[in-house]
């Protein structure tokens, strides 16, 4: 069974996003990679994936103790289900400024595990001024961030493991690449 984890963009969503986030243009609209100054390797298009249900965590960063790091293996697509994109809806000011975030310690632990992709159902692994530097830090370790995933709860209905198929647009010299992410159960 295949499930689309890519948010479907409507004209209203484009207008809302562009009104609330200056980077919500072609490369950073909807489900996308933050590639920074790196090239997305084609071997990353298919990865073993895991989704962690962290939807119960509110009012604090998602941290190492909130997931089973033993389940994280090298080259994985590691995703986090918070439910935020379904609760808040993509494009509002709150969506871009008050979203959940992963702790620095958790991000460093994932980098140490040498994962390939970190996917989240919100606007970034860190908020505000910490967003871009952390995206670059992860990219420097060969780890790509995918923001604005949706429907991760559908995977959880069948377990936590899946095969991730990820296909970015073939754009050059951009910090964001729209992509399609399909989970295969």
Q: Are 148 and 31 in contact (CB under 8 A)?
A: yes
pLDDT at 35: 72
Report helix, strand or coil for 70: helix
Cβ atoms of residues 185 and 164 within 8 Å: no
Q: Name the CATH superfamily for 2-184.
A: Putative cyclase (3.50.30.50)
Rounded CA separation 105/47 (Å): 23
CA gap 117, 126 in Å, rounded? 15
pLDDT of 26 reads 58
**Strand 176-184 relative to strand 32-34: parallel, antiparallel, unpaired?**
antiparallel
Predicted confidence (pLDDT) per residue in 145-183, tens digit: 999 999 999 999 999 999 999 999 887 777 788 899 999
CA-based angle 103:30:168, to the nearest 5?
Answer: 90
Question: What are the percentages of helix, strand and coil residues in the chain, rounded to 5?
Answer: 30, 25, 40
Q: What is the pLDDT of residue 136?
A: 92
Q: What is the pLDDT of residue 67?
A: 98
pLDDT band at 111 (very low <50, low <70, confident <90, very high): very high
The chain-wide mean pLDDT, for the chain, equals: 91
As a whole number, mean pLDDT of residues 9-36 equals 69
Cβ atoms of residues 150 and 119 within 8 Å: no
> Which has the higher per-residue pLDDT, 86 or 19?
86
How far apart are the C-alpha atoms of 152 and 64, rounded to whole Å? 20
Average pLDDT over residues 67-92: 96
């Amino acid at each position: 069974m295949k499930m689309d984890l890519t948010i479907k963009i409507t004209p209203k969503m484009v207008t809302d996003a562009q009104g609330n986030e200056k980077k919500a243009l072609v490369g950073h609209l909807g489900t996308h990679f933050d590639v920074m100054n790196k090239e997305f390797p084609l071997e990353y298009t298919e990865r073993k994936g895991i989704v962690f249900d962290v939807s119960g965590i509110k009012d604090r960063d998602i941290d190492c103790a909130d997931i089973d790091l033993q389940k994280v293996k090298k080259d994985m697509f590691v995703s986090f289900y918070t439910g935020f994109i379904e609760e808040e809806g993509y494009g509002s000011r709150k969506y871009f400024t008050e979203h959940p975030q992963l702790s620095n310690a958790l991000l460093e632990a994932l980098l140490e595990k040498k994962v390939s992709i970190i996917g989240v159902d919100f606007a970034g692994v860190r908020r505000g001024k910490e967003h871009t530097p952390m995206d670059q830090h992860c990219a420097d370790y060969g780890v790509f961030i995918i923001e604005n995933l949706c429907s991760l709860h559908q995977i959880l209905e069948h377990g936590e493991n899946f095969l991730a198929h990820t296909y970015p647009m073939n754009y050059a010299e951009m910090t964001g690449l729209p992509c399609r992410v399909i989970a295969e159960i």
